[in-house]
């Protein structure tokens, strides 16, 4: 079941592990126990998959052994004897996510020769391997290439393009969006219980699928009433996305000007997204040689040499009037400081790049709008390719413990052919949307769930296995 990450699903600690999805565990070999590999191993181990992880760094292997219930092997992912010891011939999936592109590609090549079904490689610039020839993806035995910088930039763009969004995920081939938003005072969504919202909202195609209140995640019912400060997760047709900020009490803001601090690879990919959508972009970087590279590779972007921590420079370059400010330097502390300066100077939406997991919890406390993590962006892009069966994608809610599960209803599924009102969903689960062909439906009691429908469920961990029984 591939995973469409909401823009940065967070590791929420090792509290109660999620219930295992029904079916035999997948045998997964992970190459690389760095930030991406460790996150993948932890998340998949929580799902009771059978995980083996390999890394050449003994300290990383020791960290895995102390914290995760997986088999950890010290050795190189490019070494045949190490791969044999790790059980590559019996693996169903190989995720090569080490910091070495060469090791990742060699591991996938070996996995291809060993008959592994799915091979995913983390590479810095996936587009370099998409051409035909000696180094084409297929020739290297790789099924999917994932670039952390590209995935991160894509998530940042979606956050900037959806005002007030703290999280966003795409389902049904782009027909449906899930958006997380903080509920403000006087928001229409907080006017009454969800079953008795004002009449003027009744013709909107949306559903509140989950809410995070404090440290608790809830799957709402008709009797639920949202409160200011809640983070609400709203599912809607993509064409109705523009109305969602207003539902949560936010004013819509067009995206016309964005300022980026730092000339990283993420900045380059983001600048290209912005250019392709007609958004003016300014990039600040301290390194004169990097500025020259950026100016040559990004025609249309304004590239300035300067220190983004310089308040006078930010004000002089018009940070107050920007619709978005993104801090993309290689240091988390600088990114958070610069983002805070930009927010206090009047930038409308501010997003820092965060590598350290423990800093993610500070984002809300500092009043920043959202944050992104290349580690989590890459991991969730990889998970899109490795889920089981008819499940098409999974998104983990930021700050919460619910999952959004997109699946195609199989003919043999117990719920196939039943009306929604006749299906006994477990507590902690709900059916959010049905997609029948090109028609997106907010399901009501009289609607039927048919084989071939694409359904999006929202599930708390304790209800995961029960939902799985409805689908298999």
Of the given ranges (127-131, 151-155, 192-196, 417-421), which has the lowest mean pLDDT? Answer: 127-131
Q: Would you place residue 31 in the very low, low, confident or very high pLDDT band (cuts 50, 70, 90)?
A: very high
Q: What's the full length of the chain, in residues?
A: 472
Partners of residue 95 on adjacent β-strands: 30, 120
Query: What is the set of domains in the chain, with CATH numbers?
Result: 27-146 (3.40.50.720), 160-247 (3.30.70.1450), 257-377 (3.40.50.720), 391-471 (3.30.70.1450)
Partners of residue 119 on adjacent β-strands: 94
Express each pLDDT in 33-88 by its tens digit. 998 999 899 888 876 789 999 999 999 999 999 999 999 999 999 999 999 999 99
User: Nearest CA to 360 among 3, 6, 5, 9?
Assistant: 9
pLDDT at 305: 94
Taking the C-alpha atoms of residue 166 and residue 182, their distance in angstroms, rounded to an integer, is 8
- Pair type for strands 439-441 and 429-436: antiparallel
Distance of CA 53 to the CA centre of its chain: 22
pLDDT at 394 exceeding the cut of 70: no
User: Nearest CA to 235 among 405, 399, 419, 360?
Assistant: 405
User: Nearest CA to 171 among 123, 217, 218, 207?
Assistant: 207
pLDDT at 70: 95
Partners of residue 283 on adjacent β-strands: 260, 303
Full-prediction pTM beyond 0.95?
Answer: no
Cα-flanking dihedrals φ and ψ of residue 437, to 5°?
A: 70, -120
Mean pLDDT over 292-304 rounds to 94
Could you please report the per-residue DSSP string of 92-131? SEEEE-SS-HHHHHHHHHHHHHTT-SEEEEE-S-GGGGSS
Produce one character per residue of 214-234: b if its CB has 16 or more CB atoms within 10 Å, e if not: eeebebbeeeeebeeebbbbb
The pair of three-digit structure tokens given for residue 154, joined into one six-digit string: 């894509």
Under 8 Å CB-to-CB from 183, ≥6 apart: which residues? 189, 190, 226, 227, 228, 229, 230, 231, 232, 248, 249
More reliable by pLDDT, 285 or 1: 285
Q: At what angle do helices 148-161 and 374-383 cross, to 10 degrees?
A: 100
E strands, 109-197, are: 118-122, 144-146, 165-171, 176-182
pLDDT averaged over every residue in the chain: 85
């Amino acid at each position: 079941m591939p995973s469409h990450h909401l823009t940065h699903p967070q590791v929420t600690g090792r509290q109660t592990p999620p219930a295992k999805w029904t079916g035999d565990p997948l045998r997964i070999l992970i190459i690389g126990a760095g930030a991406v590999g460790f996150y993948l191993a932890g998340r998949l181990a929580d799902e009771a998959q059978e995980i083996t992880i390999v890394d050449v760094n003994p300290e990383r292997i020791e960290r895995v052994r102390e914290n995760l219930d997986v088999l950890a092997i010290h050795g190189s992912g490019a070494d045949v004897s190490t791969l044999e010891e790790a059980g590559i011939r019996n693996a169903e999936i190989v995720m090569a996510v080490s910091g070495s592109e060469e090791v990742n590609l060699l591991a996938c090549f070996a996995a291809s020769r060993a008959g592994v079904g799915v091979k995913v490689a983390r590479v810095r610039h996936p587009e370099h391997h998409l051409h035909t020839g000696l180094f084409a993806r297929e020739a290297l035995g790789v099924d999917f290439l994932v670039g952390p910088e590209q995935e991160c930039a894509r998530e940042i763009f979606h956050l900037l393009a959806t005002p007030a969004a703290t999280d966003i995920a795409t389902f049904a081939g782009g027909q449906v969006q899930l958006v997380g938003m903080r509920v403000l005072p006087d928001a229409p969504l907080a006017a009454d219980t969800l079953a008795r919202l004002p009449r003027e909202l009744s013709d909107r195609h949306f559903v509140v699928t989950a809410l995070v209140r404090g440290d608790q995640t809830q799957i709402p019912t008709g009797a639920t009433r949202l409160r200011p400060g809640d983070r609400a997760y709203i599912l809607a047709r993509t064409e109705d996305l523009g109305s969602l900020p207003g539902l949560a009490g936010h004013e819509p803001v067009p995206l016309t000007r964005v300022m980026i601090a730092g000339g990283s690879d993420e900045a380059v990919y983001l600048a290209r997204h912005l250019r392709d959508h007609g958004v003016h972009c300014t990039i600040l970087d301290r390194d004169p040689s990097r500025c020259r590279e950026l100016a040559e590779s990004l025609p249309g972007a304004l590239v300035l040499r300067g220190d983004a921590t310089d308040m006078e420079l930010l004000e002089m370059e018009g940070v107050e009037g920007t619709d978005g400010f993104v801090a993309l330097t290689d240091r988390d502390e600088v990114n958070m400081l610069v983002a805070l300066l930009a927010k206090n100077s009047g930038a409308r939406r501010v997003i820092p790049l965060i590598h350290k997991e423990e800093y993610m919890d500070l984002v809300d406390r500092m009043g920043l709008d959202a944050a992104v993590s290349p580690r989590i962006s890459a991991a969730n892009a990889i998970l899109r390719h490795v889920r089981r069966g008819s499940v098409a994608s999974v998104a983990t809610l930021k700050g919460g413990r619910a999952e959004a599960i997109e699946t195609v209803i199989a003919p043999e599924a117990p719920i196939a052919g039943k009306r929604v009102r006749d299906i006994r969903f477990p507590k902690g689960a709900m059916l959010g949307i049905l997609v029948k062909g090109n028609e997106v439906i907010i399901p009501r009691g009289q609607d039927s769930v048919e084989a071939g429908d694409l359904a999006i469920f929202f599930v708390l961990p304790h209800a995961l296995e029960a939902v799985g029984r409805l689908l298999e």
